[in-house]
Structure 1
Amino acid sequence: MSAYSTLLVNHADSVATVTLNRPDVRNAFNDTSIAELTTAFLELGANDTVRAIVLNASGVAFCAGADLNWMKQMAGYSPTENLADAQCLATMLRTIYFCPKPVVASVQGDCYAGGMGLVAACDIALAADHVNFCLSEVKLGLIPATISPYVIKAMGENAARRYFLTAERFNAAEAMRIGFVQQAVPADQLDATVAAIVKALVSASPHAVREAKRLVRDIGGAPVTDALIADTAERIAAIRASDEGREGVRSFLEKRKPGWLA
């Protein structure tokens, strides 16, 4: 496992926890933290002993978006340097989104701008009910371009039109209403709620969870065509014939735990 200066990465049993650890700047990210998040999720995604990943943060905020000092530095970049920098952020978000392991965001504090991209790239997002969210880019003369594929998928186009354009702050209840987070709970219940979700994830077939994640990513929003129907038939046929598919059915019929829980 790599060493990190902006993250804490822990692996206990089959669950890895990646903690944003720059509380002094409200966990705002810079080029170092972007590179470290990319590395962490690549390594954890390839680690067969990891069954689920929790993304959380230290301190009072989850993530304030881009670090102001880093943004000042970017102001002097050439167009080529700006593009390369943006591509690093895009790669980091894509790495989280395409991670083969399920990723759960535990949002304990306010989450702004690029921080919302981090949450949206995760599979499941839970937030403390006091948390505020904001897509603040237009107030700075910017747009939430790099995070937009994930945020729009998470909250939908109508909500994105409003919050991308107005940069209004909204609370956890509104985030849940529009689908950006799946659940908002009292702060003292957040860890337990995340633990219950993680327990469900690691109790299921690792192969099936991985393929179910890919299924949602590939099928969501796709038109129902003959090719799509054929694809879904091929997927279920393949997983029925897989080792874990056969073991899951056998263990159910024999009223015993499946091999991945033994």
Structure 2
Amino acid sequence: MKTLTKQLTKKQQANETIFVPYIMAGAQGLEQLAEEIQLLTDAGASAIELGIPFSDPVADGPVIQAAGLRALGKGVTLGKIIQQLKQIKTPTPLVLMTYFNPVFTYGLEKFIQELAETNVLGLIIPDLPYEHRELLIPLLKNSDISLIPLVALTTPRERIPELVKAGEGFIYAVAVNGVTGAGRNYQETLDEHLAYIQEVSDKPVLAGFGVSSKEHVERFRKSCAGVIVGSKIVQLLSEGEKSEVTTFIEEAVSNEF
């Protein structure tokens, strides 16, 4: 079992709320990345998801797209992010969220080898189909990096056990059809869907896309292990509202269910 799976499963077994905030690496400048990671760590983040800016972010809503464009405008690249991460030491597991194109361009083997020199323990690649995961699995075999699967609302129920069994770290349950973004309306059947994924998974299931309030966290904790919060965190950081970020995370993780 890889480290990310162990750490998050331990929290799940202790009935703690798993909270994974997402930030866009370099949106406020790469020199701010270490400070942002420390802020989220101090607030109680279970792991931190770092977005890699990309010119065609098909899964991202307007807030995260804008943050990615700001990062690109500052000259932020995958290579620069990795070099920065090599200098950052944190007890909180880091998870990279990237599209496949930047990784392929960088070089798959080089990418995994260099990540091994950082605190990155997980990978989310939303446009890498399950059938093509073998492009990375052999390279990850001897590493401590988990390839995290995404399960959509449209994923056929009979396919879900196969996806979660192959995944590591945690299971990313996409809570809406469409792109990321705060203020989304959730389907009435979502709670049942999440509960089924958690039932067939031996790893924590985290709900993401649109999670933007304490009420959302409380709702999802009734059917899965925790949440991933992106647009809300990215927006607050872009506005310089660091204390609001801290308060949101502290309140979310203080509840045991």
**Of Structure 1 and Structure 2, which has the larger fraction of its residues in helix?**
1
TM-score, length-scaled by structure 1: 0.33
Q: Larger Rg: 1 or 2?
A: 1
TM-score, normalisation: structure 2: 0.33
